C-alpha cells in the first residue's frame, strides 16, 4: 500500500532564520531510514516568487514553489519560521511582513495542521490563527507577542505547545523538538525516539520542558532584587520564606511580593521554586546523586516535594528527566 502523502510547505521570505527552515526537513528525512519504507513526506519551500531568498545567516535558498502554487493544492503541514531585527539598544523584535501574513492566512486554510517555529508565532498571530489559543515563541519576543496580540495566551516557558491542529515551537534549536513531536503524531513515539537518536538528541524533550533557565530570566533594574536573587541562588538549602526574604530586603511581606511581581513578573515563592528546580535539573543531568540528596541540597526537603515541583514546572518527574537529559554515563 502506498504511503499517504504528507505535503509539507515551509514558508520562505527575506531575512528568515536559517535553522528554522533547514532543521525540520532533516528530521523528516530521517523517518524513512528508521521505518525502512515510504513516509509520504514531501517537503517544499514556498515563497512569493522563485527568486533566491537570503536568510538571516546570509545563506541563499531557492524556493521550490510560489505561494500561489502551494495554495493550489491540499497541504498536510504548513510550517512557518520567523525573523527578527534588533534596534539601537540591541533589543530583539520579531518582524512580520503583511504580504507574508496574508499568504500564511491563505495557506493555512488549505492545511491540515499549522505550525510555527520560534518567532514564526508572530506571523500566525498576525494572521489571526492563534486567537484564543495558548502559544509559545522564543523567550526574547514573548512579551512583544503578548503585548501586540492580547487574544493569544502566551506561555514563554514550554519547548512547544499543541492546541488542536495548531502547533507553536520555542526558540531556534527547539525546531527539532517540534519536528520530532510532529513525527510522533504521524508515526508514534517509538519512531520519533529512533530519529532523535540519529540526531544525537538521545531522547526527545517533552513539550513541558522549559526553554530557558533561571539565570536567563530578565535582570531586575532594582539592585535590592538582584541582591535577593543572588542570596536565593546561594542559599537554596535554606527555608527562604517570604518573611525571611522580606526581612533581608527591609520591606514588608506584601511590599516584597509587589516588587517581585513588578520586576520579575512572578511571586517570591514561585521564583524560589523555579531556582530550586533549576539546580535540581543541573544535578540530575550531571551527577549520580540520589533524589533524596538532591531534594535536600536544593531545599525541597522531601522527594515528594521535589516530584510535585517537577510535575508543576516541567510536566515530568525527576527520574524521567534524568533518563532524558543526563550527561554522564
> Active-site residues: which are they?
118
42/322 Cα distance (integer angstroms): 35
Alpha helices (H) in the chain, listed in sequence order: 18-35, 67-70, 98-108, 121-126, 142-148, 174-187, 189-198, 223-234, 242-249, 253-264, 268-286, 291-297, 303-314, 318-325
Which helix (DSSP H) or strand (DSSP E) does residue 9 occupy?
A: strand 6-11
**SS3 of 161, please?**
strand
8-state DSSP, 290? -
- Report yes or no: 145 and 94 within 8 Å, Cβ to Cβ: yes
Phi, psi of 44 (to 5 degrees): -130, 150
**SS3 of 88, please?**
coil
- Report yes or no: 192 and 137 within 8 Å, Cβ to Cβ: no
- The b/e string for 102-115 (b: 16+ C-beta within 10 A; e otherwise) is ebbeebbebbebbb
Phi, psi of 13 (to 5 degrees): -160, 165
65/62 Cα distance (integer angstroms): 9
Instruction: State the first-to-last Cα distance of the chain, in angstroms, to the nearest integer.
Output: 43
Amino acid at each position: 500500500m502506498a504511503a499517504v502523502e504528507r505535503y509539507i510547505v515551509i514558508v520562505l521570505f527575506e531575512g528568515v532564520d536559517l535553522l528554522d527552515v533547514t532543521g525540520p526537513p532533516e528530521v523528516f528525512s530521517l523517518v524513512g531510514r528508521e521505518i525502512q519504507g515510504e513516509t509520504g513526506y514531501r517537503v517544499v519551500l514556498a515563497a512569493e516568487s522563485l527568486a533566491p531568498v537570503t536568510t538571516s545567516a546570509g545563506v541563499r535558498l531557492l524556493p521550490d514553489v510560489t505561494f500561489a502554487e502551494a495554495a493550489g493544492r491540499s497541504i498536510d503541514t504548513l510550517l512557518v519560521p520567523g525573523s527578527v531585527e534588533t534596534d539601537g539598544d540591541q533589543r530583539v523584535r520579531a518582524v512580520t511582513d503583511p504580504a507574508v501574513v496574508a499568504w500564511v492566512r491563505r495557506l493555512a486554510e488549505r492545511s491540515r495542521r499549522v505550525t510555527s517555529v520560534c518567532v514564526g508565532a508572530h506571523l500566525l498571530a498576525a494572521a489571526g490563527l492563534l486567537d484564543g489559543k495558548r502559544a509559545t515563541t522564543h523567550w526574547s519576543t514573548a512579551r512583544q507577542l503578548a503585548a501586540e496580540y492580547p487574544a493569544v495566551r502566551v506561555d514563554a516557558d514550554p519547548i512547544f505547545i499543541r492546541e488542536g491542529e495548531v502547533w507553536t515551537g520555542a526558540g531556534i534549536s527547539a525546531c527539532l523538538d517540534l519536528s520530532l513531536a510532529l513525527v510522533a503524531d504521524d508515526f508514534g513515539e517509538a519512531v520519533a525516539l529512533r530519529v532523535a537518536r540519529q540526531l544525537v538528541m538521545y531522547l526527545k524533550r517533552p513539550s513541558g520542558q522549559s526553554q530557558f533557565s533561571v539565570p536567563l530570566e530578565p535582570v531586575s533594574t532594582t539592585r535590592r532584587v538582584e541582591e535577593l536573587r543572588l542570596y536565593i541562588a546561594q542559599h537554596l538549602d535554606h527555608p527562604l520564606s517570604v518573611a525571611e526574604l522580606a526581612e533581608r530586603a527591609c520591606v514588608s511581606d506584601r511590599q516584597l511580593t509587589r516588587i517581585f511581581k513588578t520586576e520579575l513578573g512572578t511571586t517570591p515563592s514561585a521564583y524560589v521554586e523555579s531556582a530550586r528546580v533549576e539546580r535540581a535539573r543541573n544535578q540530575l543531568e550531571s551527577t549520580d546523586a540520589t533524589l533524596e540528596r538532591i531534594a535536600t541540597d536544593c531545599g525541597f526537603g522531601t522527594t515528594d516535594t521535589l516530584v510535585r515541583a517537577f510535575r508543576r514546572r516541567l510536566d515530568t518527574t525527576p527520574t524521567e528527566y534524568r533518563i532524558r537529559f543526563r550527561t554522564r554515563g
